Amino acid sequence: MSSISTQSIPQGKIVLTYDDYCELPNDRNRYEILDGELSVTPAPTTKHQTVLGNLHRLLANYVVANQLGPIFIAPTDLILAPTTVVQPDLIFIGNDRRGIVTERAIEGAPTLAVEILSPTTQRTDRETKAQLYAKYAVPHYWLIDPDQQTLEAYELAGDQYKLVAKAQNAEVFTASLFLGLSIPVADLWV
């Protein structure tokens, strides 16, 4: 896992860690710790899960056929730091990063993190998580918006993400991370 920079914590602020996270109830809510702060969202909708299942199937077929590395779907803990534990909807770890896969979680920056937007998570996914993934050097970040029927690919450029590909509706999505893979975006929504 990457080293953690020392930050001053405001007096009186409670900072949660992975150990605190492990003590949270299993109540169908989705818990994450974002820079020490607890984030709680309800279980994903069926629309969300349909998109996730379709993306996983399309990516997994390509990744397995080309022996590129493991791919995981939520809920899988991604521990970026003791105070940052997230559950991206989909995680891909290239073969060069296989060492971050442990028995308890993914412990370090994956090659790709994917978030599927919903009305309750859109701001967190576009802003907070994008900043955290960039901070911990996740090289590729994809955002899927089922309502707008878009798939956006971002690549880390310095300390922030740059949009490198976007497809919507009936367009075909391609990204540099998976050369030769084309995803008909309409296939995600069915």
Rounded-to-integer distance, Cα 158 and Cα 161, Å: 8
Q: State whether residue 60 is helix, strand or coil.
A: helix
Q: Computed from CA positions of residues 39, 128, 110, 176, in that sequence, does the dihedral angle turn out positive or negative? A: positive
Q: Tell me yes or no: is domain 44-77+85-189 CATH 3.80.30.20.
A: no
More confident residue, 25 or 51: 51
pLDDT at 174: 95
pLDDT above 80 (res 157): yes
Query: For the chain, first and last CA: distance in Å?
Result: 38
Residue 115, both tokens? 């978030």
pLDDT band, very low/low/confident/very high, at 49 (cuts 50, 70, 90): very high
Mean per-residue pLDDT for 26-53? Answer: 90
The whole-number pLDDT of residue 71 equals 98
pLDDT, tens only, 8-25: 445 567 899 999 999 998
Decide if 106 contacts 98 (C-beta within 8 A): no
Question: Tell me: the pLDDT tens digits for 89-109?
Answer: 999 999 999 999 999 999 999
pLDDT of residue 29: 81
pLDDT single digits (tens) 133-145: 999 999 999 999 9
What predicted TM-score, i.e. pTM, was given to this entire model?
A: 0.90
* Domain edges within the chain: 44-77+85-189
Residues 2/109, Cβ–Cβ less than 8 Å:
yes
Provide the pLDDT confidence category of residue 42 given band limits of 50, 70 and 90.
confident
**Strand spans (E) along 3-111:** 30-34, 37-41, 71-73, 78-81, 84-86, 90-92, 106-107
Q: Are 58 and 92 in contact (CB under 8 A)?
A: no
Asked if 86 and 129 count as a contact pair (C-beta separation under 8 A), the reply is: yes
pLDDT at residue 48, rounded to an integer: 94
Mean pLDDT of 58-87: 96
What is the model's pLDDT at position 12?
64
Residue 120 pLDDT: 86
Confidence of residue 7 (pLDDT cuts 50, 70, 90): very low
